[in-house]
């Protein structure tokens, strides 16, 4: 696993912002958003082939969205968390559907819940929210500035 | 005036009795109530449930009456984009066809309403063809996607089941040497045709399951993909009529099965009256057929359309030809056994 | 209310009392809910239809098509997206039709009291019976179903019950 | 369902129609699948979910750590303790504590009983979807009841237990639980033998499900299948072995896999897994250590982020939790197995011929639970 870190750093240099091994079978890699597709392809060739999940976290104080993909390696049995930070004002990121086809639905959900635009995604269509949901009026539900107060039942 | 009516009734008492009581209206309605109740109760027991219990104190026997009352008093809806007149008329015509089939069947030696001049079998098969066509039309005029797929499947089913049925029935006709249903039953005095015609019986049984839309050949009404098949859009009283038609069709075909292969009304004369014991044995055999079919229903999966059609053309039709050859040989070497 | 329904309504009102009683008896013993699940009480509802609790003893039989059914059992939370469909289903059902709320989510949003998506059923459709619990015990669901039965037995026979709230 | 619009009639003239199966349909559950078909062959399938989306991820940000278990459990009513376990595992990992050994064993028993409850449902619906032996669906409903009774005896509820909490479990085994559990296991093993007989003998069921909905091994990995659907394609992936939790490390069991990759194999995996679950419960009952069942835990969880996963009945259930050191989570992302599995059906018409009548068996062999996919 140490070798993977070295390999990544020698291949991509400064694009690898962070490399952590919090416990057995876990790797956390943080990359800069412009090299995300290259890193993803590289990792796929390293054996990380099955997408498990993808999503985002809203860090309102730092004014960033942290987008993450969780990938499993079928022969090494390691879970990899691939992360990247994008700005909150202009949330666009390259989609990884071309690398791992299975992340399609997760990216679609993230687009819907956060308003993050995944470039190159084949089907950004509403999935979970009702048809009459109005983003202008109601906002994106999983962002931190979305309040549940108007929906709460009065006691 | 009244006298002449009374005279007419006296002269034609038997015919009138047959039309109104047995095997006419009263019998058909009695069968409907019994069959639906029995199906629900029997299947429920096989599913380790109770089925209807509380309606009518004993074994829930009034359940069907309650259902009928509810359905009759419900609003009926005619969908806006359907062909309204046909949508309304076809379900009313539908139960008539199988009801005619029921009265073509001999229940005892001299107890038959209409013997079609010795061509009862041909008339039966000819009339029975109308039922799937009407069913298809109903699916078409309802103008719903599920009913249209159901209608298409009805035709597939007709193609898969009808031709093997006709071919297998030919074996019986050759053995008995007649199209007359009474003579066919009489020809089974010594041996029921299920024994020499075992191949033909299997083919007929599978075709019969198709024509009556029962598992494993019930893909036109496959509820897991088609909701209710062609019945999907019908409400209240019209739905009741469609259900009735379904069960009467089942009754007619089961009776034909009894007549052709299970010896019809033949059986020991236990009541000392040939007519009554004939009717008794017909009904007992009918009941046994019902139980077998319901048991099959609960133990097998449903065939897919293509599988069923393939079964019909690739397996059943060759089988029925082999059956024909065997029948001809039997007829040639043992002519005395078949009464004709 | 359509003209056709009004006409039938008048007819029903003119019927003698014993006949109307018989009608009510028939209706009360054959409540066919739609085969329709909205939320997370559905496993419990399934158990109630199953062998141990067996709702069919009272003639309650889930039906596949809306056209043949008499009642909607809202089984668990109803969301905004589902409510649009539920109203449509309710409109497709023939009169007389009944609505039963199973589970606290359908009554007051329950554990999802601050959800942005869950709605109360009574804001949209007229509700006949409320069954509380999360999920309710099978006995409670049976009791609710029998309460609906009693309600049908005691009501004035007619075709039209109520209009849909907008 | 319903009336066709003019556009749809025109489509029908072109030979194709779009049938919406759900949300009110005998097989649909809370979701919808939109099938483009000419009446027989299926050309395209589209999954439309969200009919029971309650926004659990958002609600969790509004709840304390312990309170969060309650809305979380409503995600999979058939399988609540696995969901709770995933969340609790994440919290315990953040806190850096572990439950006492006796609690781990009790957790294992609860989890495996829940797996049986859930798998009987999947088996019953697969049977129902081919109209194979409609009785089986109701048999499974009946055979679930002994386990529901055990759960009620142990936790006080039939479905939503909230039994597994950070630091252990809420209560110790009650009196007479062991004997009753043994009885239930013996009864259920008999019933499973009956199912196996019915399953293997029933040639019509095999005709309907063999070679239907084949998901090859590489495609299953590429699309991210989960749980039994993945194992039926020959991938030995089971979090209970790969990353053991509760007491699975000390117990002896094998991962069930099948090679056929079709609907039949997916059903067979579930039946065999139930045998394994029964064995695990028996072992856990026999080797149960003595001791306390609960530790006290602080209200606030330290800053950090963690991805915790468990093997729920439908597959791997992962929870990605971010904590900012307060008494409420900052963000919870739930990766639900049904959400991964249900989209497999979208991909299938592209690699093989599917007929309209194949849709229900494929659908139910994937065992989707839409509430879980919607969250």
Please tell me whether residues B326 and B279 are part of one structural domain.
Answer: yes
Run of H or E including B146: helix B145-176
Please tell me whether residues B239 and B259 are part of one structural domain.
Answer: yes
Nearest by Cα to D171 from D102, D228, D111:
D102
Residue-wise pLDDT tens digits, B60-110: 788 888 888 888 888 878 887 778 888 888 888 988 888 888 888 888 887
pLDDT value at residue B253: 92
Measured between beta carbons, the chain D residues lying within 8 angstroms of B148 are: 12, 17, 39
* Interchain proximity D205–B301, CB inside 8 Å: yes
Over residues C115-131, the mean pLDDT reads 88
Please tell me whether residues B131 and B158 are part of one structural domain.
Answer: yes
Question: Does residue C14 surpass a pLDDT of 90?
Answer: no
Domain boundaries, chain C: 3-154
Over residues B270-286, the mean pLDDT reads 86
Over residues A103-130, the mean pLDDT reads 86
* Interchain proximity B49–C22, CB inside 8 Å: no
Over residues A128-138, the mean pLDDT reads 84
* Interchain proximity C81–D51, CB inside 8 Å: yes
pLDDT value at residue D25: 82
Question: Does residue C165 surpass a pLDDT of 60?
Answer: no
Over residues C42-58, the mean pLDDT reads 86
* Interchain proximity A152–C117, CB inside 8 Å: no
Measured between beta carbons, the chain C residues lying within 8 angstroms of B60 are: 57, 59
Q: Which residue of B has its CA nearest to D4?
A: B144
Q: Mind listing the domains of chain A with CATH numbers?
A: 2-151 (3.30.460.80)
Measured between beta carbons, the chain C residues lying within 8 angstroms of B50 are: 54, 56-57
Ranges under pLDDT 70 in chain D:
1-14, 132-134, 200
A36 CB-near residues (< 8 Å, 6+ apart): A82, A84, A93, A94, A96
Measured between beta carbons, the chain C residues lying within 8 angstroms of D50 are: 79, 81
- For residues B141 and B89, what is the distance between their CA atoms, to the nearest angstrom? 11
- Out of B48, B53, B239, the one facing C68 most closely (by C-beta) is B239
* Region for residue A139 given its phi and psi (left: phi exceeds 0; alpha: psi -120 to 50; beta: otherwise): left
Residue-wise pLDDT tens digits, D208-230: 888 888 888 888 888 888 888 88
Q: Are D60 and D75 in contact, with CB atoms under 8 Å apart?
A: no
Q: Provide the CATH number for the domain formed by C3-154 in this structure.
A: 3.40.50.12280
* Interchain proximity B48–D138, CB inside 8 Å: yes
First to last CA, chain D: 25
Distances (CA, A) of A28 to A21, D141, D319: 6, 44, 15
In this complex, is the C-beta atom of C153 within 8 Å of any C-beta atom belonging to chain B? no
Q: Which residue of B has its CA nearest to D207?
A: B303
Cα D39 from chain centre: 32
Q: What is the DSSP letter of A154?
A: P
Q: Which residue of A has its CA nearest to D52?
A: A128
Q: Are D174 and D323 in contact, with CB atoms under 8 Å apart?
A: no
Q: Which residue of C has its CA nearest to A142?
A: C116
Which of B49, B88, B147, B150 best tests the C interface by mutation, with the highest count of C CBs <10 A? B49
Nearest by Cα to C134 from D312, D70, D60:
D70
Q: Which residue of B has its CA nearest to D140?
A: B47
Compute the mean pLDDT over every residue in chain C, rounded to the nearest whole number.
83
Q: Are D231 and D255 in contact, with CB atoms under 8 Å apart?
A: yes
Over residues B312-327, the mean pLDDT reads 90
Total domains present in chain B: 2
- For residues A52 and A3, what is the distance between their CA atoms, to the nearest angstrom? 24
- Out of C23, C59, C157, the one facing B63 most closely (by C-beta) is C59
First to last CA, chain B: 48
Compute the mean pLDDT over every residue in chain A, rounded to the nearest whole number.
84
* Interchain proximity D144–C47, CB inside 8 Å: yes
pLDDT value at residue A127: 84
* Interchain proximity D23–C50, CB inside 8 Å: no
Q: What is the DSSP letter of C112?
A: G
pLDDT value at residue C143: 92
Domain boundaries, chain D: 55-335
The interface residues of chain D toward chain B in range 128-147, judged by CB-CB distance below 8 A, are 128-135, 138-139, 142
Touch criterion met for B and C (3+ Cβ pairs within 8 Å): yes
D106 CB-near residues (< 8 Å, 6+ apart): D169, D172, D173, D288, D293
More confident residue, B222 or D79: D79
Question: Does residue C166 surpass a pLDDT of 50?
Answer: no
Distance from the Cα of D191 to chain A's closest Cα (Å) equals: 35
Measured between beta carbons, the chain C residues lying within 8 angstroms of B234 are: 67-68
In this complex, is the C-beta atom of B47 within 8 Å of any C-beta atom belonging to chain D? yes
Please tell me whether residues B57 and B117 are part of one structural domain.
Answer: no
pLDDT value at residue B288: 92
Please tell me whether residues B43 and B88 are part of one structural domain.
Answer: no
pLDDT value at residue D264: 87
Over residues B208-233, the mean pLDDT reads 82
Q: What are phi and psi of D226, to 5 degrees?
A: -140, 150
- For residues B113 and B120, what is the distance between their CA atoms, to the nearest angstrom? 11
Distance from the Cα of B280 to chain D's closest Cα (Å) equals: 32
Judge if the upstream peptide bond of residue A68 is cis by omega within 30 degrees of 0: no
Which of B48, B304, B305 best tests the D interface by mutation, with the highest count of D CBs <10 A? B304
Q: Are D232 and D268 in contact, with CB atoms under 8 Å apart?
A: yes
Please tell me whether residues B29 and B98 are part of one structural domain.
Answer: no
Distance from the Cα of D331 to chain A's closest Cα (Å) equals: 7
Touch criterion met for A and B (3+ Cβ pairs within 8 Å): no
Q: Are D217 and D261 in contact, with CB atoms under 8 Å apart?
A: yes
Q: Which of B35, B55, B73 is the last residue of a domain?
A: B73
Question: Does residue A62 surpass a pLDDT of 50?
Answer: yes
Percent of chain B with pLDDT over 70: 99
Question: Does residue C1 surpass a pLDDT of 60?
Answer: no
Nearest by Cα to C50 from C62, C66, C41, C40:
C62
pLDDT value at residue C156: 67
Please tell me whether residues B149 and B23 are part of one structural domain.
Answer: no
- Out of A50, A53, A77, the one facing D221 most closely (by C-beta) is A50
Please tell me whether residues B46 and B102 are part of one structural domain.
Answer: no
Please tell me whether residues B193 and B240 are part of one structural domain.
Answer: yes
In this complex, is the C-beta atom of B12 within 8 Å of any C-beta atom belonging to chain D? no
Please tell me whether residues B201 and B87 are part of one structural domain.
Answer: yes
pLDDT value at residue B254: 92
The band of B322, judged by pLDDT with boundaries at 50, 70 and 90, is very high
pLDDT value at residue D13: 59
pLDDT value at residue C4: 66
**Domain D55-335, CATH number (from 1.10.3860.10, 1.10.645.10, 2.70.98.40, 1.10.132.20):** 1.10.645.10
Task: Please name the residue that has the structure tokens 């009446």.
Answer: D39
Chain A interface, Cβ < 8 Å to D = 22, 25-26, 49-53, 55, 57-58, 68, 70, 72, 74, 77, 79, 81, 100-106, 113, 126-130, 141-142, 146, 148
Please tell me whether residues B121 and B247 are part of one structural domain.
Answer: yes
Compute the mean pLDDT over every residue in chain B, rounded to the nearest whole number.
85
- Out of D3, D19, D138, the one facing B49 most closely (by C-beta) is D138
pTM for this structure?
A: 0.86
User: Touching A: which chains, 3+ CB pairs < 8 A?
Assistant: C, D
Nearest by Cα to B256 from B151, B179, B338, B158:
B179
pLDDT value at residue B289: 92
- Out of D222, D318, D320, the one facing A101 most closely (by C-beta) is D222
Which of B43, B49, B206, B301 best tests the D interface by mutation, with the highest count of D CBs <10 A? B301
Q: Which of B56, B73, B90 is the last residue of a domain?
A: B73
Nearest by Cα to D338 from D76, D24, D59, D80:
D76
Q: What are phi and psi of D333, to 5 degrees?
A: -115, 120
In this complex, is the C-beta atom of D46 within 8 Å of any C-beta atom belonging to chain A? no
* Interchain proximity A52–D50, CB inside 8 Å: no
* Interchain proximity B52–C8, CB inside 8 Å: no
CA angle A141, A147, A151 (to 5 degrees): 90
Measured between beta carbons, the chain A residues lying within 8 angstroms of D224 are: 50-52, 100, 102-103
* Interchain proximity B52–C159, CB inside 8 Å: no
Residue-wise pLDDT tens digits, B5-23: 888 888 888 888 888 887 8
More confident residue, D221 or B229: D221
In this complex, is the C-beta atom of B47 within 8 Å of any C-beta atom belonging to chain C? yes
Q: Which residue of C has its CA nearest to B73?
A: C23
**Domain ranges, residue B53:** 1-73
Interface confidence, given as ipTM, is 0.85
Q: Can you name the residues that pair with A53 across neighbouring β-strands?
A: A70
pLDDT value at residue C3: 64
């Amino acid at each position: 696993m140490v070798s993977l870190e070295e390999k990544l750093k020698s291949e991509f240099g400064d694009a690898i912002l962070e490399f952590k091994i919090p416990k057995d079978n876990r790797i956390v890699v943080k990359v800069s958003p412009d090299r995300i597709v290259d890193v993803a392809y590289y990792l796929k060739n390293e054996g990380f082939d099955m997408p498990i999940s993808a999503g985002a976290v809203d860090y309102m104080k730092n004014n960033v969205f942290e987008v993450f993909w969780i990938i499993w390696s079928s022969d090494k049995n390691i879970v990899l968390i691939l992360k990247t930070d994008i700005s909150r004002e202009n949330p666009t990121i390259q989609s990884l559907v071309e690398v791992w086809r299975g992340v399609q639905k997760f990216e679609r959900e993230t687009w819907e819940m956060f308003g993050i635009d995944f470039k190159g995604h084949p089907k950004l269509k509403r999935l979970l929210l009702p048809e009459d949901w109005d983003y202008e009026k109601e906002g994106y539900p999983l962002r931190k500035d979305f309040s549940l107060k108007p929906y709460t039942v009065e006691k | 005036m009244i006298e002449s009516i009374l005279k007419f009734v006296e002269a034609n008492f038997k015919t009138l009795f047959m039309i109104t009581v047995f095997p006419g209206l009263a019998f058909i309605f009695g069968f409907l109530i019994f069959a639906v109740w029995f199906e629900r109760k029997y299947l429920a027991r096989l599913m380790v449930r109770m089925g209807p219990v509380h309606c009518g104190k004993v074994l829930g026997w009034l359940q069907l009456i309650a259902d009928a009352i509810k359905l009759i008093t419900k609003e009926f809806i005619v969908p806006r984009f359907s062909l309204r007149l046909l949508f309304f008329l076809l379900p009313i015509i539908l139960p008539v066809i199988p009801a005619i089939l029921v009265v073509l069947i001999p229940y005892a030696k001299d107890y038959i309403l209409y013997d079609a001049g010795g061509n009862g079998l041909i008339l039966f098969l000819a009339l029975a063809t109308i039922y799937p066509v009407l069913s298809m039309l109903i699916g078409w005029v309802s103008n719903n996607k599920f009913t249209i797929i159901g209608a298409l499947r009805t035709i597939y089913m007709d193609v898969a089941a009808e031709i093997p049925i006709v071919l297998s029935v030919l074996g019986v006709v050759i053995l008995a040497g007649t199209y007359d249903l009474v003579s066919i039953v009489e020809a089974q005095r010594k041996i029921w045709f299920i024994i020499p015609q075992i191949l033909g019986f299997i083919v007929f049984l599978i075709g019969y399951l198709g024509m009556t839309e029962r598992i494993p050949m019930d893909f036109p009404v496959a509820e897991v993909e088609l909701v209710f098949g062609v019945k999907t859009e019908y409400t209240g009283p019209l739905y009741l009529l469609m259900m009735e038609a379904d069960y009467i069709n089942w009754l007619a075909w089961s009776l034909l099965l009894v007549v052709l292969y299970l010896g019809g009304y033949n059986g020991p004369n236990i009541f000392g009256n040939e007519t009554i014991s004939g009717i008794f044995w017909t009904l007992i055999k009918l009941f046994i057929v019902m139980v077998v079919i319901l048991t099959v229903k609960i133990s097998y999966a449903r065939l897919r359309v293509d599988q069923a059609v393939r079964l019909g053309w690739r397996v059943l039709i060759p089988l029925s030809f082999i059956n024909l050859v065997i029948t001809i040989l039997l007829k040639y070497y043992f002519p005395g056994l078949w009464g004709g | 209310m359509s003209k056709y329904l009004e006409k039938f309504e008048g007819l029903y009102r003119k019927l003698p009392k014993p006949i109307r009683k018989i009608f009510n008896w028939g209706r009360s013993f054959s409540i066919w809910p739609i085969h329709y699940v909205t939320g997370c009480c559905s496993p419990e509802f399934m158990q109630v239809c199953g062998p141990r609790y067996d709702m069919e003893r009272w003639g309650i039989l889930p039906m596949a098509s809306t056209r043949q059914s008499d009642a909607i059992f809202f089984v668990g939370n109803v969301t905004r997206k589902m409510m649009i469909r539920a109203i449509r289903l309710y409109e497709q059902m023939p009169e007389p039709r009944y609505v039963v709320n199973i589970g606290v989510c359908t009554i007051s949003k329950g554990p999802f009291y601050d959800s942005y998506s869950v709605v109360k059923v009574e804001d949209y459709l007229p509700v006949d019976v409320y069954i509380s619990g999360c999920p309710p015990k099978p006995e409670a669901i049976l009791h609710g179903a029998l309460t609906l039965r009693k309600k049908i037995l005691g009501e004035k026979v007619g075709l039209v019950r109520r209009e849909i709230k907008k | 369902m319903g009336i066709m619009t003019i556009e749809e009639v025109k489509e029908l003239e072109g030979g194709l129609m779009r049938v919406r199966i759900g949300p009110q349909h005998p097989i649909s559950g809370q979701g919808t699948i939109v099938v483009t078909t000419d009446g027989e062959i299926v050309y395209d399938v589209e999954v439309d979910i969200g009919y029971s989306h309650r926004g659990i991820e958002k609600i969790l940000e509004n709840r304390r750590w312990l309170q969060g278990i309650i809305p979380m459990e409503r995600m999979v009513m058939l399988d609540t303790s696995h969901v709770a376990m995933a969340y609790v595992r994440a919290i315990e990992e953040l806190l850096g504590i572990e439950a006492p050994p006796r609690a781990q064993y009790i957790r294992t028993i609860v989890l495996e009983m829940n797996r049986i409850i859930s798998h009987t449902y999947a088996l019953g619906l697969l049977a129902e979807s081919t109209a194979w032996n409609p009785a089986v669906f109701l048999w499974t409903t009946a055979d679930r009841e002994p386990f529901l009774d055990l759960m009620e005896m142990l936790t006080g509820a039939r479905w939503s237990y909230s039994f597994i909490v950070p630091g252990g479990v809420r209560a110790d085994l009650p009196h007479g639980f062991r004997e009753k559990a043994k009885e239930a296991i013996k009864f259920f093993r008999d019933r499973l033998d009956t199912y196996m007989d019915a399953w293997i003998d029933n040639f019509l069921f095999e005709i309907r499900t063999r070679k239907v909905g084949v998901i090859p091994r590489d495609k299953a990995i590429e699309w991210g299948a989960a749980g039994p659907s993945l194992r039926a394609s020959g991938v030995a992936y089971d979090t209970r072995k790969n990353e053991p939790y509760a007491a699975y490390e000390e117990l002896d069991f094998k991962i069930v896999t099948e090679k056929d990759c079709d609907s039949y194999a997916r059903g067979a995996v579930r039946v065999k897994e139930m045998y394994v679950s029964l064995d695990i419960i028996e072992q856990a009952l026999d080797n149960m250590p003595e001791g306390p069942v609960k530790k006290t835990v602080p209200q606030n969880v330290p800053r950090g982020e963690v991805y915790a996963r468990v093997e729920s009945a439908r597959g791997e259930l992962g929870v990605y939790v971010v904590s900012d050191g307060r008494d409420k989570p900052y963000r919870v992302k739930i990766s639900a197995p049904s959400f991964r599995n249900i989209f497999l059906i979208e991909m299938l018409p592209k690699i093989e011929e599917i007929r309209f009548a194949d849709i229900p068996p494929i659908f139910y062999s994937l065992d989707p639970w839409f509430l879980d996919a919607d969250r």
